[in-house]
Chain A
């Protein structure tokens, strides 16, 4: 029996990709090279300025919450979360406290055991708030003035709080991956962790299994400053081990000590305590008197719902059902993002063979994308071209080997404009790759090869029981008749020699 169970809840902050900020008209764009250029009196919090809600940001939030199977509150309001920090020019953040716009949802993720049923992770709530700016500290160690960039101030930020339903570090990582996939699918965020458009804090504790079968919860720590999914996984793994050691040493249970906050040090791969001052914070929430409460009708929610695309989980299942893909192949394709799944589906439809399309796109296409470092949404060969090529293989019009030759020619084409479906047929024609079903031509070619003096040795060997001995003969025939199907050639030679 395991010594403990890991219990993790994640708080994920996602920046919404709106044209403008949450409460003013400033551009919402990652732009650290030009600090304080995307600001106005409202996001600077200048005296006399007032916020006005960006309805588009609210709609994107509702869209996200619906994708997370949340209930949408018909009435929601804005609250001020008050704390002093230089990157927060009003010294309060407009957020949502007791009436978030959405609550009680879930996200299904694959279990650690790939064959086990999906794990349903509860979502406590998702609420909308404004992002803070960024403090830039002098890292020379000479204690020079810190600087503040307020470009980010007021960016719409969605906070998605999961239930403590995650039971391992890898599960936490998969939750994040699935969440990111979903959010990029429905096109509400680019979820770029490097640029901070997706950020994650983890609440971690253990249920220690005692000898008498009881589960003893350890004190919860909140882990911050993890800048990649991999780091989230590592931090949780580290934190579990650390908490178990601490529990063995101190026997402290949940409730014995207040919740603590720890930071993740990616270089040293460990968590360290952050200032405990933050725990003592009393945010003195206050309903924001500058902003009218937000209401939404059933019709409006229904309209946002109809605008939603197919979710990755549903599409993953449909790919298995409609294209006979393995769960693994479906997963690989879906996890590449919406554009790639669309690409696959376009290829598969024209090819008339989902399985074959899956093989090609997950191997050849992904390899080419990687080698050429293509940006997302661009492909080495257009979907209709690859689909047409695969349809020729699927219909036995060309061999798989010829298919690869055509593919290579297409890849080498200098002029992209010439890479068309028609060009596929042209290449097949020009190179004589069409499978030769004309047995007369084949019979002649086989006869010619068998009559060569150099072939005798192989013929004898074959007759002596070595079936593989005719391989070179097949090769020579194939050389003469380019579109020949090797299987057919083999059968005809065997027939002849018997």
Chain B
């Protein structure tokens, strides 16, 4: 039987029945990686030996009748901005080319405890800054649906790895849409949980108040399974929410009764690709067929989200990335005159241009005399955006929108226009500013065969509702059955 392309839920069932072993599953996926990686470039590090060893442990445990974790034997790819012992953690940067973390991130501890197989680290925009994975210091990743297109970013490697069936599950991180946008571009399911639902301990910070780790998978059942494994309170992250995690899988198949979907149609205007718009509208029709009500909602401050985001995120980034100075670890320049020169040369050589751009933006915004006008004002706008959402969720259960204004764009398309790429994040940034959960689910294809995503957002800690709402549509559509044609 074919192992590759099965969902994690199906793989678990098959392994449980004894038809296949964990080693079979890992071997099959390593084979796909070996075959497709030269085209897709989804990975920065593949730990074949380690993965097989982990799979063997699972098989031995199963044979001995031991208790197995919820992801026993399932290969999971990890975005390379999450700390892992035994594998590199480069953040897609030259700065950390030889860096090895001495500790596991919280989510990695959880995955190990769940007996998952950590198969490798995926490519990303350097320090998760970007929307195309082209800002990786090592390689751009290609979209499995069309290798000339970007898989999106910054979790492009994690999205492409799942779309190309190299792994059934991967972890991404989302600071402004970095899980949802690549999920949309690659035709898979990706969720950014509520800020604080998943511990950030061991997630290398880009913008601490916005960063969140989340699952990427073929379907909502797998996303629920992976989220269940990684969510929960962690006292090492004081922004982590001390609330129990419900079983997202348990009632996933139960449709939401009297579901009310809000749509901010006013923001659909200019720049929105008509095929994207059509796909979103078609999915809304489908929801209505399922008994949901669709109403227009107003999010008056949404249009300020790009401006607010590009002050807050770079400000925090400029501070978070200050530690990469070549003194204690990471890249140190070979030639320098004095201490200041060593800092400048090491950082100048170690960081790519997008990272430098954002560090400069943030440094400027936090400088004396500008703080109130930029950073502080952005925080106030952020509050207003959150208020918009709070108000909207008094009326509706879920907010639906496109994930991105267009399907995947060409690699290199925005190389000289970073601002245009920033603007393409309009639908996702606000969710990070508000701290609310959001997900991208497949909602069709463009005439050129590129996936189109539908974004669903809910109030804080509504992950279970979002997943159930997404599952309703997923069951009625067959988008997830479609897979890219690759060698």
Contact = CB atoms under 8 A, between A and B. Distances in A.
B208 A289 contact: yes
Interface in B365-408: 366-368, 371, 375
Interface in B291-332: 315-316, 318-319, 322-323, 325, 327-329
Contacts of A90: 322-323
A46 B103 CA distance: 10
Contacts of A432: none
Interface in A292-346: 292
Interface residues of B, number: 43
Interface string A42-64: 00111111111100000000000
A282 B319 contact: no
A13 B168 CA distance: 54
Given A52-B235, A86-B339, A47 B327 contact: no
Nearest to B342: A86
A47 B367 contact: no
Given A82-B322, A284-B363, A284-B367, A47 B316 contact: no
Given A86-B327, A289-B208, A91 B202 contact: no
B277 interface: no
Interface of chain B, main secondary structure:
loop
Contacts of A103: none
B145 interface: no
Contact of A292 (B236, B239, B340, B367): B239
Nearest to B127: A47
Interface in A393-440: none
B237 A48 contact: no
Interface in B81-108: 82-83, 89, 91, 96, 99, 101-103, 105
Given A286-B316, A286-B375, A50 B201 contact: yes
A289 B316 contact: yes
Contacts of B201: 48-50
A106 interface: no
Given A50-B236, A284-B368, A91 B323 contact: yes
A27 interface: no
A282 B202 contact: no
Interface in B199-215: 200-205, 207-209
A177 to B, nearest CB: 37
Interface of chain A, main secondary structure:
loop
Q: In the complex, which of the residues A46, A48, A51, A284 has the most CB atoms of chain B within 10 Å of its own CB atom?
A: A48
Contacts of A82: 319, 322, 366
A263 B155 CA distance: 51
A84 B347 CA distance: 12
A486 interface: no
A291 B240 CA distance: 10
Contact of B89 (A47, A52, A80): A47
B160 to A, nearest CB: 24
Contacts of A282: 367-368
Contacts of B105: 48
Place the interface of chain A in its size category: 20 to 34
A89 interface: yes
A279 interface: no
B209 A84 contact: no
Interface in A87-119: 89-92
A290 B91 contact: no
Interface string A27-53: 000000000000001001111111111
B319 A48 contact: no
B83 A47 contact: yes
Nearest to B312: A289
B343 interface: yes
A458 interface: no
Nearest to B316: A289
A369 interface: no
Contacts of A350: none
A469 interface: no
Contact of B203 (A48, A284, A286): A48
Contacts of B202: 48-49
Contacts of A49: 103, 201-202
A381 interface: no
A82 B205 CA distance: 16
B204 A84 contact: no
B209 to A, nearest CB: 4
Interface string A141-164: 000000010000000000000000
11 contacts: A47-B99, A48-B201, A49-B103, A50-B236, A50-B237, A84-B343, A89-B327, A91-B323, A92-B319, A284-B366, A289-B207
Given A47-B323, A48-B89, A80-B319, 11 more contacts: A41-B102, A46-B329, A47-B96, A50-B200, A148-B327, A284-B318, A286-B316, A289-B209, A289-B316, A290-B205, A292-B239
A-B residue pairs, 5 tightest by C-beta: A91-B322, A289-B208, A289-B209, A284-B366, A47-B204
